[in-house]
Each structure stands twice: as structure tokens, then as C-alpha cells.
Amino acid sequence: VIWRRTGRPEEPSPPDLLQHLPVGVVLVDREDVVRTANATAERLRLVRDRQLAPIELRRLVRAVRRVGDLQVVEVELPNADESLPVRATGRPLPDRDVLLVVEDLTELRRVEQVRRDFVANVSHELKTPVGALILLAEAVREAAGDPKAVDHFVERMQAETRRLTKLVDDVISLSRLQTGVPPGVARLPVYALIDAAGQQVALAAEARDVRIDTNVPDSLAVTGREAELVVAVKNLLDNAVHYSPPGSTVRVTAERDGDNVRVTVADTGPGIAPIDQQRVFERFYRADPARARTSGGSGLGLAIVKHVVTNHGGSVSVDSALGEGSTFTIRLPAAEAPARVDA
């Protein structure tokens, strides 16, 4: 028992520990009077006038007594405005007492919903390029005698294939990131991450006549997984280049900000309206769907950035005004300088 072993006065006592469990715990005696209920049980409104409030839980208690064994139910408890999904476990105790453990499933249900939406979105997004490829293949066959037309359709097939590949790659990296493996301790110089990302967008930048200007001190470093952090910076650069007007400059800076390293990527593109600024980090959200459809973006780029930096203990935000460009900022915990080894 931890509190005995350490014996420090500020350690919580056993009843406090019970109070702070994230599940509701209720002890009901043989007369159906609630003997003990922890804070979570109160918050979930399981108890009123020393009785179990939800009829579903009273039924569970009776079932436990009848069967004389552990009983588990998943039910929606009617609550003030919306119902509360819970998993309730009842365990018989001596003297016909019953111990109830009630787990709030709201967050779990929300995650399940997000996952279902994601699958539906992916299927929908896959349909567009696949449908285009089917039509283009038919067009190629019909244009068989016309080499110029064939060339044109094949080029479009290649574009749709690239789009499909990007979507599939992004879906795969997103689902990998969601497992939330701790980022490890490799020390990564920030300039190297930005250089590597810059190289990956160099061709696209050249094609659009956009300059990438970086100002990154050598001394800054973060810890984590290099490949993921490079992808995060690359996705920001990709967007910045993509939305920049030809002939303009994308500026990348990095600096120390307290315990963090702050990396910013600024463009002079169309900007993002305030109502879209939080939502652009959601999967498949596009501020301008029509433009995105022609641009071949997967709609997952910023969601990937957000997952990477969150998994690394950091954050990402955007500062933008319509017509004035956008500045994306990544904050990551700074790696301390390696300890000096004196000879």
C-alpha cells in the first residue's frame, strides 16, 4: 500500500483515493440504503436521499442479490438534458450488501463516433479519385486513335493516382500516430528537421515560384521521432507553398520560448477566416472545399501535424486574417543542451 510505504503526510489516505477514482463507487446495504458513495458517483447523480437514483441501477442491485454473482450492464441513464451512457458492475458482498462500480462511457462513445465518421469520410474521399480513374480509363479506350487525347487522359489518370496515393499514405500515417506511442528521447536539432522538410517541398516551391526563407539558430533542439517531426513541418510548408502567390516568400523561423521551441511557418496567401481557424486541424476539414478538390490535398495534412506535435507534448496553432496570409506555429518542449563532459 503506497501511502504506508512512503508515509508522507501529504499522501492521500485510502478514502481519498476512493473519492478520486474516475469511476463511481457505491455501497448499498441490504435495506437498499447507500452506505458509501464517492465523488464520481455524486457527480454522475447516482444517489438521491441515500438511495440509488436510477431505476436501472436499482434493478441491477436486485439482479445481483438474486443471482448471487457479478452482474454487468451497459445502460443509458436518463440525466438532466442528455442521457448518460454507463457500464455498471454489481458485486455481491456479505450480508446482502452490493458494491456498484459505474463507469462513464461518454468519452468512449465519442471516440467510437469519431472513428465511425473517419471511416465514412475515408470511403467518401476514396470514391472521387477511383470514380475519376474509371471514367478516364474508358476515355483512353475511346480515344485510342488519337495520341494527343490519349496523352491528356493518361496525364489526368496520373494526377488522380498521385492523389489516391497521398490519401492512402496520409490515412496510414494518421492511424499509426493515433496509437500514441511515447516519442522517445532522441535529440534532434531543429535546423535539421526544417532542412529535411524544406528539401521535400523544394520542387513544388520552385514550380510555383515561391521562395522559402529560413532563419533557424543551430543551438535549438527537441526530442522525439525524427520522421514524424519532419512530416509535421513538411505539411505546414506544403500548405504555405501551395497557398502562396507566385513570386512570394514563405518564412520559417525557430526560436526558444521559455521551455519550448517555437517554429513558425508564415505565408502571404489568402489567409483563413476566423470561423475556420480551429477546424482546419480536424480530419478532412477544408476551408474552401472547391479549391481543395482541384488541389489534390487529402484534407489530412494539418490533422497529422496536430497528432504529431500532441504526441510530442507540444501544440500547433494558426494566426491568420483573410487576405493577409497565415502563420502556423508549432510549440515543442525544448531538449536541454547535452551535459558538458569536462576533461
- Give 75 or 250: the residue with its C-beta nearer to ligand ADP: 250
Q: Does 183 bind ligand ADP (CB under 6 A)?
A: no
Residue holding cell 463507469?
103
Cβ(326)–Cβ(240) below 8 Å:
yes
Q: How far is the CB of 173 from ligand ADP (least distance, A)?
A: 13
Q: Which stretch binds ligand ADP (CB under 6 A): 88-96, 108-116, 221-229, 236-244?
A: 236-244
Binding mask of the shown chain, residues 238 to 277, with x at each position contacting ligand ADP by CB under 6 A: -xx--x-----------------------x-xx-x-----
Check residue 301 for interaction with ligand ADP (CB under 6 A): yes
* CA–CA dist 167, 241 (Å, integer): 19
CA separation, residue 108 to residues 174, 225, 276 (Å): 19, 28, 27
Kindly determine how many residues on this chain lie close enough to bind ligand ADP according to the rule CB under 6 A: 22
- Report which secondary-structure segment, H or E, holds 342: none
Identify which of residues 262 and 283 has a Cβ nearer to ligand ADP in the complex. Answer: 283
Residue 233 as a binder of ligand ADP (CB under 6 A): the answer is: no
List the one residue out of 193, 187, 283, 266 whose CA is nearest residue 232: 193
**Among the candidate windows 20-28, 47-55, 202-210, 281-289, which touches ligand ADP by CB under 6 A?**
281-289
Residues sharing a CB contact under 8 Å with residue 181, sequence separation 6 or more, in sequence order: 311
When the beta carbons of 78 and 247 are compared against ligand ADP, the nearer one is: 247
- Rounded-to-integer distance, Cα 25 and Cα 86, Å: 13
Smallest separation, CB 285 to ligand ADP (Å): 6
Query: Is residue 299 within the footprint of ligand ADP (CB under 6 A)?
Result: yes
By beta-carbon proximity to ligand ADP, the closer residue of 40 and 298 is 298
- Indicate which single residue of 25, 194, 254, 287 sits in contact with ligand ADP (rule: CB under 6 A): 287
Cα–Cα distance, 50 to 159 (Å, whole number)? 67
Contact range with ligand ADP by CB under 6 A, out of 122-130, 150-158, 203-211, 284-292: 284-292
Task: Write out the binding residues for ligand ADP, residues 3-42 only, by CB under 6 A.
Answer: none
> How does DSSP assign 91-150, residue by residue?
EE-GGG-EEEEEEE-HHHHHHHHHHHHHHHHHHHHHHHHHHHHHHHHHHHHHTTT-HHHH
For cell 451512457, the residue is 85
Start-to-end Cα distance in the chain: 46
Min separation Cβ 121 and ligand ADP, Å: 12
Kindly indicate which of the ranges 37-45, 83-91, 221-229, 235-243 contains the residues binding ligand ADP, using the contact rule CB under 6 A.
235-243
Q: Which residue from 302, 308, 309, 334 is in contact with ligand ADP, where contact means CB under 6 A?
A: 302
Written as one string, the DSSP assignment of 66-86 is HHTS-EEEEEEE--SSS-EEE
Mapping DSSP to helix (H, G, I), strand (E, B) and coil, where does residue 107 land? helix
From the centroid of its chain, how far is CA 85?
23
Interaction residues for ligand ADP, span 101-130 (CB under 6 A): none
Enumerate binding residues for ligand ADP (CB under 6 A).
235, 239-240, 243, 267, 269-270, 272, 280, 285-288, 292, 297-303, 326
